[in-house]
Amino acid sequence: MVSPDKEEELVTWFIISLGASLSLLEKSKERLLTEDEILKHRDEAPCIMVTMEAADKMKASRGYEDIDPENVLVDWQRRRIEFVETYWPCLVFYVLTKDSATKKCCDLLESKGIDYQIEERDEALPALITSYASYYNPMMEAKERESLTTHTNYLIVRSKPFKSSEAEDTTKAFLPLVSELFDIGALGISLESSSIMHSKGAWKLFAEELEKNPLASMLCAFVQMPVSIEGAYMSVGMQSLGQADYIIETKTLKALGHRDKAEELSIAANDLFQSLAFYQLGECPANGFLSGNTFSLTADSPRLRVRIEPCKFFQESDIRYNPFGVWRLSLK
C-alpha cells in the first residue's frame, strides 16, 4: 500500500483538448464565445485524472500545449488564434524615404528577409502619420516634420505574423532595424499597427536602451497609451508584446478622484495602464493573472477589478486589432 505522502499528484487531462473543443463550440455558435459559455464548457468537457508523467507523455504525443483550465478565460483569449481560423497580428511600419535612401532601405530589408512593398509619394501621408506623433523626448520638431514632405517613396514593412508566445522576440528584433533604417537615410517611421509615430531621436533612444531596459523600451516604442475614445481611455498596440490591451471608462477615473480635465484623466489612465503592463510582463508568473483579479497602484489607493474581454474596437482584419483581448479596469 502506498503511503499518502508518496501518492503521485494527479492532474486533469481533457480527452479532447480544451482548445480544440472550444474552437468547435465557437464554430457552431458562429460568433465569439461569452465568458459564461467558456466556463460552462470547461466544467462540462469530458476529462480524466492522470499522473504528471502520463500527462507529459500524452502532451508530447498531442504535440501542443492545451489551454490552461485554471485560467481558461485569459488563456483562451490569448491563444484562441492558435485554434481557430482568424487573423494573426503583425507589426506594420510606414518608412518614408527619398531618392538613393529608398534603394538602401530596400536592400537592408531584403538582406534580412523582411517583407515590404514600395509605394510612390503620397502627398497626404506626412500629415496623417504626424497626427499621431508621440510626446516622447526628443519630440519631433518642425524641421523633421518638413523633411517628411520631401519623401519620394514610402515602404510598407511587415513582420511575420506571430502568436502570443512569439510576440516579444518578434518585436524586440525590430527596434535595432528601425535605428538602422534611419542611419541609411529614412526620413520618418510610423508604426501603423499601433497608430503611433516617434521622432528619429526617440526611436533611436528606444533602440539604444533596449538591452538595458527592454520592457520599458518596447512599451514606449510599440504601444500607444492612452487613446481617448467615447467615454473611455484605452491602449493600442499591446498585441506587439503578446498581451491584451487596456480600457478604463472616464466615469471610473472620476470615481477614483481625478478631476474632469482631459489632461489629468489621460495621465491617470496612462499611469494605470503602464503599471499594470509592467506587472503582467515583468513580475507576474506566466499565466498567473486571472480575469477578475484586483489591482491598485499603491497599498492605499482604491482597488480596481480587471476582467478580460474580446477586442471590440477594431475589425479582426484591421492591423490595430488585438486578438489577445482587452483588460477592462473597473471599480469592484
List the grid coordinates of 13.
487531462
How would you class 120 by CB atoms within 10 Å of its CB: exposed for 0-12, middle for 13-18, buried for 19 or more? exposed
Residue % of the chain over a pLDDT of 90: 92
H helical segments located in 256-316? 262-278
- CB-CB contact of 206 with 220 (8 Å): yes
What is the per-residue pLDDT across 173-185, written as a single tens digit (0 to 9) for each?
Answer: 999 999 999 999 9
**pTM here?**
0.93
Termini Cα distance of the chain: 49
What is the per-residue pLDDT across 56-100, written as a single tens digit (0 to 9) for each?
Answer: 999 999 999 999 999 999 999 999 999 999 999 999 999 999 999
Q: Quick check: 2 pLDDT over 60?
A: no
- CB-CB contact of 289 with 68 (8 Å): no
pLDDT for residue 41: 97
Task: State the average pLDDT for the chain.
Answer: 95
Dihedral angle sign, alpha carbons of residues 95, 90, 310, 267: negative
Domain ranges in the chain are 4-82, 92-213, 223-331
